[in-house]
Structure 1
Amino acid sequence: MTATHLDPDTVIQLVGDAVTAPSMHNAQPWKFVFHAGSGGLALYGDPERAMKRTDPNHRSLHLGCAAALFNLRVSAAWIGLPVRVQLLPDDAEPWLFATVTIDETAGADHELASLHDAVRRRHTSRYPFSEEPVPTALLDGLWAAAHVEGCRLTVPDTWHIDTVLGLVRDAEHREEIDPLARAETAAWTSPTQDASGTRSDGIPAAAFGPKVSGGRTPVRDFGWANPIPDRGWAVFEKRPQLALLSTPGDTRADWLRAGQAMERVLLQATADGLATSMTSHPLEWPELRWTVRDPVAAMGHVQMVFRLGYGPTGPDTPRRPLTEVLEIRE
């Protein structure tokens, strides 16, 4: 594909793939603006969709928007369209996270293009995984996926897995006794409907998964906020296989790199036949976040906790219509 400027039809295709990205509570806190005259595409964060209690500095909001940006890069590579991404291009516009333009000097990125099939197959799975270990070769590939985006992926030792699981439980307890945090979770897991009769954001009940029967797991239980009759129980894996994504620093630019690395890891895992889920629960409490890192590893700042394994894929979760997330200007 040869072009010097993006066109509306192409932008619609790119953004359609972009918005399948994960975000905290499936809030989908992104806004794309296409400037038809210049052919440039801009990605903004939407502060109206921020978690004011559990994400007050908007770290998770940045991660979600950056995951959508990575999907857009994959989509562009798949149609043979090299693009240039500039992060945080204007200090005067703090909610402008990135701009995307065609890069006439770049060649095709076959590695990115190969991930396109996974973009719409990736779903968060809050179901039990088997005890089958993830092969080292696949973990090495996920490490490489994070590394190419400027981040680090670490597989914690057994003792540190126990520490992380304990911190998840601690974070759950903190949320349960914090009325603002409880209200926030309840708001994004309620079945409130829009004019069409369905909700286009949030975590639907079908995606909660079963309740945990014994043991500890890093799967976030959204069911306590909005209980579901006959939801059911299940035994989860005894030793969850975790991976920690970290960055050297903890700036907004680090968060945007981490979000792209997060999605690259998730798409690579999906392409490799793995089921995945994530938790940011202990990362949402400053008192706990620092403890998530491995003190004997040069990990920097942990941005996400992955759970990897073999098991059922999660269900589709709703997505906002493109008319809400994409604006085309002359």
Structure 2
Amino acid sequence: MPTPHISPPTVRDLVHAAATAPSLHNAQPWRFVYHRGTGVLDLRADPARGMPYADPDHRAQFISCGAALFNLRVAAAHSGLVMHVSLLPEPEDPWLVARVRPGTAGGAAATGALASLRPALARRHTSRVPFEDHPLPDAVRQLLIREAEAEGARLLFPGGWHVRFLVDLIAEAEHHAEHAGDPDEARWLRVGTAPELAPDGVPWSAVGPQSQDAAWYSRDFGHGTGREQARVRFERHPQLAILSTADDDPPRWVLAGQALERVLLAATTVQVATGLTTQPLERQSLRWLLRDPVHGHGAVQMILRLGYGPTGAVTRRRPVDDILDLEP
């Protein structure tokens, strides 16, 4: 039986959906290559969009590519397509993150679960604004825990002193960035004429305010720019979640990205706003302190902030023609 193919217009639709994924500073560090002869779609990390200061080992870049891969799976399922994915299929080509092949068989229940997340792709945005001091119901927490587990990751909701400890680590990371500077952050911040029209990066209108007290520490995008973010009161009790994987290597980073996006989309479907906090993850000396203090195992890949409130500003995405190559 011949291998199924997907048409170039459908490939464009899938890549457009994939590119709605979050990425550190909205760098969108991915490229797609469609091989028309074989019907295979490759997802590649773009080394030119790496961040030597914040992400020297490319962990965050692979997580972003994993999130884009999950979006592609969601869009494919919504279109009735079955896609078989091979992660990091060629050891001699480390920038080849995944190879996606159309197939003919798949679990209907799993495909349906993915397809149901399709409307959330356009609604999910990273929120950097205050949330209400209204706790997530336990049913919502359990839903998000199951979504992470479905992709082979673990989601932990810390409480009490553990949340305060995490906030203190975020504060320490911010303090370090204030004194040391962050050239990656400066590279991707969009200011000047019509920054909202930039196809990548974070426009000033999307950076959000700073917290006026120690209840929370937002990323200070004003380092070295001469600009200051407004200071407002954030929620008194931030609701944080820690996403971790059993091991810490490129395959698990891609896995973490897929689990992260599955959690973010599921949260969006139940009207929960989401934000991502990466400052302590950008410093190896702090990252290991983020581990579960009870079990002490696993590698923390992301810190999520969740709550009820505005879903965040829209940030633009690069045109499909800039990230998709059609090969013979």
* Pairwise TM-score range, normalised by the shorter structure: over 0.9
Distance 1:18 1:259 in 2: 12
Q: Which SS does the other structure have where 1:177 is aligned?
A: helix
Structural mapping, 1:230-309, within 5 Å: 231-297=229-295, 299-309=297-307
Per-residue deviation, residues 132-186 of structure 1 (Å, max 9, x unmatched): 100000000000000000000001121111111011011111112224xx22211
Distance 2:193 2:258 in 1: 31
Distance 1:8 1:27, change over 3 A: same
Q: Gaps (5+ residues) in structure 2? A: none
* Contact kept in structure 1, 2:19 and 2:28, CA below 8 Å: yes
Deviation, structure 1 residue 227: 4.6
Q: Which SS does the other structure have where 1:157 is aligned?
A: coil
Distance 1:268 1:25, change over 3 A: same
Distance 2:10 2:240 in 1: 37
* Contact kept in structure 2, 1:125 and 1:277, CA below 8 Å: yes
Deviation, structure 1 residue 298: 5.0
Structural mapping, 1:162-177, within 5 Å: 162-177=164-179
Which segment drifts farther, 307-316 or 213-222? 213-222
Matched, 1:102 2:123: no
The residue that corresponds to 1:216 in the other structure is 215
**Counterpart amino acid of residue 119 in structure 1:** L
Distance 2:114 2:292 in 1: 30
The residue that corresponds to 2:143 in the other structure is 141
Distance 1:76 1:227 in 2: 45
Distance 1:261 1:288, change over 3 A: same
Deviation, structure 1 residue 54: 1.3
- TM-score, with length taken from structure 1: 0.94
The residue that corresponds to 1:38 in the other structure is 38
Deviation, structure 1 residue 299: 4.4
The residue that corresponds to 1:115 in the other structure is 117
**Counterpart amino acid of residue 115 in structure 1:** L
Deviation, structure 1 residue 192: 6.2
Distance 2:73 2:226 in 1: 38
Deviation, structure 1 residue 190: 3.2
Which segment drifts farther, 98-107 or 72-81? 98-107
* Contact kept in structure 1, 2:210 and 2:219, CA below 8 Å: no
Distance 1:86 1:213 in 2: 46
Q: Gaps (5+ residues) in structure 1? A: none
**Backbone CA RMSD of aligned residues:** 1.7
* Contact kept in structure 1, 2:196 and 2:315, CA below 8 Å: no
Distance 2:297 2:79 in 1: 36
Per-residue deviation, residues 181-239 of structure 1 (Å, max 9, x unmatched): x2221111132679x9932111111111122111232532323453546x532100011
The residue that corresponds to 1:60 in the other structure is 60
The residue that corresponds to 1:321 in the other structure is 319
**Counterpart amino acid of residue 25 in structure 1:** H
Distance 2:123 2:224 in 1: 28
Per-residue deviation, residues 72-110 of structure 1 (Å, max 9, x unmatched): 000000011011010000011110000111121214411
Distance 1:304 1:197, change over 3 A: closer
Q: Identity of paired residues, percent?
A: 46
Matched, 1:4 2:4: yes
Which segment drifts farther, 196-205 or 255-264? 196-205
Deviation, structure 1 residue 307: 0.4
- TM-score, with length taken from structure 2: 0.95
- Count residues with an aligned counterpart: 324
Distance 2:62 2:180 in 1: 24
* Contact kept in structure 2, 1:193 and 1:199, CA below 8 Å: no
